[in-house]
Amino acid sequence: MTDNSSKPECPVGEEICGHIDGLSVLRSRIDELSRLVHTDTLTGLFNFRHFSMVLEQELERTRRSGRPTSLVMMDLDHFKQVSDRWGHESGNRVLRQSGELITQVLRRVDIPCRCGGEEFALILPGTPLARAVHVAERLRISLSETPVALDGCELQVTASFGVNVYLRHSTITPAQFVEETDAFLYQAKAQGRDRVCHPDFESVKPKGQVGRSEKDALLGD
């Protein structure tokens, strides 16, 4: 004789409860698929698809609210040499550890993404230029001071950064904003790597055209 006393009775009938359970499982699977579509499986960060979607949303929010959105583009230095010398899996280990360090430095509201290969993009909502540069510097130092263990050796990893800010008066497209930020990243590479490059105050907007509120947004006052 089977004892079903431990199984609670369904108040609306077994058939309806069965449908509800099935819908719950389906919803869980849909949520998981949605997460996978927007997540880089290697690092656990968001992927390029998510980056493109969220960046457009945040820039539109800046145009409406006036709160700046900063973007940090990061590229690991000499990463191809690491993969060539130590192997593909060792390269993956470097990428995973870099992703972990990024997560440790950023706030919960920030959006860290891996765009592909060794390139990462960090969207910092409501963040002025000066604070974004500070975040990039913290991450640069954290990377350089946290070696990756590879086959009994410790590999020092460095990265180059480009930082840019989007303000309410900005008229460029999201793609152009990324291109401008990438240009600062390339500048960091050209100057010797392991550094942060960004626009100075004068280069963001011509002198005399900047209001006090925009100046505060730029400098983080």
Is residue 181 exposed (0-12), middle (13-18) or buried (19+ Cβ within 10 Å)?
buried
CATH number, residue 89: 3.30.70.270
For the stretch 32-58, pLDDT in tens is 445 557 899 999 999 999 999 999 999
CB count, 10 Å around CB of 122? 25
Q: Is residue 42 part of a domain?
A: no
Q: Is residue 18 part of a domain?
A: no
Q: Where are the alpha helices (DSSP H) in 38-128?
A: 48-65, 79-86, 88-105
Q: Is residue 20 part of a domain?
A: no
How many folded domains does the chain comprise?
A: 1
Q: Is residue 94 part of a domain?
A: yes
Integer Cα distance of 53 and 38 in angstroms: 10
Q: Is residue 9 annotated as part of the catalytic site, yes or no?
A: no
Active site residue: 15, 60, 89, 118, which one?
118
Report whether 69 contacts 127 (CB < 8 A): yes
Report whether 167 contacts 213 (CB < 8 A): no
CB hemisphere CA count around 32 (13 angstroms): 6
For the stretch 95-143, pLDDT in tens is 999 999 999 999 999 999 999 999 999 999 999 999 999 999 999 999 9
Q: Is residue 73 part of a domain?
A: yes
Q: What is the pTM of this model?
A: 0.78
Task: Name the residue range of residue 136's domain.
Answer: 48-219
Radius of gyration of the chain (CA): 23
pLDDT at 22 over 80: no
> Reduced to 3 states, what is the DSSP secondary structure of residue 80?
helix
Q: Is residue 2 part of a domain?
A: no
Residue 67 CA to chain centroid, in angstroms?
19
